[in-house]
Chain A
């Protein structure tokens, strides 16, 4: 049950942050949620889709990433097959995934800045670019780790889908947490209520998802590590998103 408590803790922390946000100074001029809508309206989802694909392309054509991925697969297989390291193959895999995540974030983190530095007239804010690129990085890591887990463990497809759902939900929670954390003021009470309502829905989904999972040690370890990593990464990424009004 420890993983349930861990995730409940993450969700509750986010909700608490949102509640704190309600007490912040009310400013009719700063319109984070309205900015969010306005920015989404012009570049359109096709624009976001293109940025997502740019992120995927950036990684898939990167030599360092390809080498890191090859080494990780090699290390994991060696660790799994070698009698001496058989017990530690999961640790090896997690370290490998961490390296892969660092490489991915390193490669993707500068895309938005570089694009807007060269093409400031592109009608897309740094926040939107970073969010879409961040999601593409997350997708790559989720796909790779899910594939490895499917191949090397006795976890079924449904378990992996649940695991992915939890990773994405945690990402959303982290985003909402940073929204509450970085936005010093908000436009109207509706913005905050929306935030709190979303947090609550996320929490319920999280709980329902978790209750279905087989709670064995491997899954707890994997989920715990990924949650910590992804929460930190998405917090950093979404800090731009939360301050979207300033990045115009």
Chain B
């Protein structure tokens, strides 16, 4: 379970002003909002990025971010936005490296990489030097990196960017598998279709604060939006384009 209470944080472009929410084991939460609303910064804080000025309480399965960050990090997976991978390695090598950092045995690493490569249909791209691969392959590798150690908390910042229809389907499939293993997932995205498909609850952020929170039904009731969709909720809150 992830507990965030009165979180205040600052980065160059974004700010969080007293954000509080809770997410249970196996729950999928989508964080929506405009690009500078604070979602990206929230992801960085939850991933344990150092060098950010922050106050408030963040707790993952009884481990405090402030005092037990190593234990928190061991249980967290993070997909950054934009994705930048070490270009001198192949996807396989990088996944193997990250697996070893997470203390996985060579056999387990091989098995996990095989499974992920199969699901994401990486094929021979898995063994190409990352420098020579396309954006969608890099995105898939970065996604695989974030879940190779089966984290308890998975933070995904725009997981489907650069991906085509088929790629998005593969990512959705993997996200849907996470709750079955008790993993809590936070998706920070502008892809409303993805959010509506995979998330149990939604948080709409505006100017570093949580403006709306709840299930789709609750959001629709709060905003009295028509149509009763996420797009309807967002257009009521932020205004039509």
- Tell me the A residues contacting B by CB distance below 8 Å: 38-39, 42-44, 46-47, 49-51, 53-54, 57-58, 61-62, 111, 114-124, 126, 247-248
Asked if B89 and A119 make an inter-chain contact with CB atoms under 8 angstroms apart, the answer reads: no
Q: How far is the CA of A50 from the CA of B86 in the complex (A)?
A: 14
Point out the residue from A44, A54, A119, A120 that lies within 8 Å of B50, measured CB to CB.
A120
19 interchain pairs (CB within 8 A)?
A: A38-B70, A42-B70, A47-B100, A47-B101, A47-B103, A51-B97, A54-B89, A57-B89, A61-B129, A111-B86, A116-B50, A118-B80, A118-B85, A120-B49, A121-B48, A122-B98, A123-B102, A126-B50, A248-B69
CB distance from A125 to the nearest CB of B (A): 9
Asked if B100 and A115 make an inter-chain contact with CB atoms under 8 angstroms apart, the answer reads: no
Beyond A44-B103, A118-B85, whether A123 also contacts B70 by CB under 8 A is yes
Asked if B86 and A119 make an inter-chain contact with CB atoms under 8 angstroms apart, the answer reads: no
Tell me the chain B residues, 126-143 only, with Cβ under 8 Å from chain A: 129
Asked if A123 and B73 make an inter-chain contact with CB atoms under 8 angstroms apart, the answer reads: yes
Beyond A121-B76, A123-B73, whether A42 also contacts B103 by CB under 8 A is yes
Counting chain B CB atoms within 10 Å of each CB, which of A54, A115, A119 scores highest?
A119
Asked if A118 and B88 make an inter-chain contact with CB atoms under 8 angstroms apart, the answer reads: no
Contacts of B49 in A (CB 8 A): 116-117, 120
Whether, in the assembled complex, B78 has its beta carbon less than 8 Å from a beta carbon of chain A, the answer is yes
Point out the residue from B50, B97, B101, B145 that lies within 8 Å of A123, measured CB to CB.
B101
Point out the residue from A62, A120, A123, A248 that lies within 8 Å of B88, measured CB to CB.
A62
Counting chain B CB atoms within 10 Å of each CB, which of A47, A120, A247 scores highest?
A120
Contacts of B44 in A (CB 8 A): 120
Question: Which chain B residue lies CB-closest to A116?
Answer: B50
Q: How far is the CA of A47 from the CA of B103 in the complex (A)?
A: 7
Closest 8 CB pairs of A and B: A120-B49, A50-B100, A121-B78, A123-B73, A121-B76, A121-B47, A47-B101, A120-B47
Q: How far is the CA of A39 from the CA of B195 in the complex (A)?
A: 37
Asked if B73 and A54 make an inter-chain contact with CB atoms under 8 angstroms apart, the answer reads: no
Q: How far is the CA of A226 from the CA of B225 in the complex (A)?
A: 72
Contacts of A39 in B (CB 8 A): 70
Q: How far is the CA of A185 from the CA of B86 in the complex (A)?
A: 36
Contacts of B129 in A (CB 8 A): 61
Q: How far is the CA of A43 from the CA of B71 in the complex (A)?
A: 11
Asked if A115 and B86 make an inter-chain contact with CB atoms under 8 angstroms apart, the answer reads: yes
Tell me the chain B residues, 59-103 only, with Cβ under 8 Å from chain A: 69-70, 73-74, 76-78, 80, 83-86, 88-89, 93, 96-98, 100-103
Q: How far is the CA of A226 from the CA of B44 in the complex (A)?
A: 41
Contacts of A49 in B (CB 8 A): 100
Asked if A58 and B47 make an inter-chain contact with CB atoms under 8 angstroms apart, the answer reads: no
Asked if B89 and A122 make an inter-chain contact with CB atoms under 8 angstroms apart, the answer reads: no
Question: Which chain B residue lies CB-closest to A58?
Answer: B88
Asked if B77 and A114 make an inter-chain contact with CB atoms under 8 angstroms apart, the answer reads: no
Asked if A61 and B88 make an inter-chain contact with CB atoms under 8 angstroms apart, the answer reads: yes
Tell me the chain B residues, 37-68 only, with Cβ under 8 Å from chain A: 44, 47-50
Q: How far is the CA of A47 from the CA of B100 in the complex (A)?
A: 5
Q: How far is the CA of A111 from the CA of B84 in the complex (A)?
A: 12
Asked if B77 and A121 make an inter-chain contact with CB atoms under 8 angstroms apart, the answer reads: yes
Contacts of B48 in A (CB 8 A): 120-121
Asked if A123 and B74 make an inter-chain contact with CB atoms under 8 angstroms apart, the answer reads: yes
CB distance from A109 to the nearest CB of B (A): 14
Counting chain A CB atoms within 10 Å of each CB, which of B74, B100, B145, B155 scores highest?
B100
Question: Which chain A residue lies CB-closest to B84?
Answer: A118
Q: How far is the CA of A79 from the CA of B100 in the complex (A)?
A: 45
Asked if A248 and B86 make an inter-chain contact with CB atoms under 8 angstroms apart, the answer reads: no
Asked if B98 and A46 make an inter-chain contact with CB atoms under 8 angstroms apart, the answer reads: no
Contacts of A120 in B (CB 8 A): 44, 47-50, 73, 78, 80
Contacts of A53 in B (CB 8 A): 97
Q: How far is the CA of A124 from the CA of B50 in the complex (A)?
A: 12
Contacts of A122 in B (CB 8 A): 73, 98, 101
Question: Which chain B residue lies CB-closest to A41?
Answer: B70
Asked if B70 and A46 make an inter-chain contact with CB atoms under 8 angstroms apart, the answer reads: no
Q: How far is the CA of A38 from the CA of B93 in the complex (A)?
A: 27
Question: Which chain B residue lies CB-closest to A111?
Answer: B86
Q: How far is the CA of A53 from the CA of B88 in the complex (A)?
A: 12
Point out the residue from B50, B93, B102, B155 that lies within 8 Å of A247, measured CB to CB.
B50
Question: Which chain B residue lies CB-closest to A129?
Answer: B101
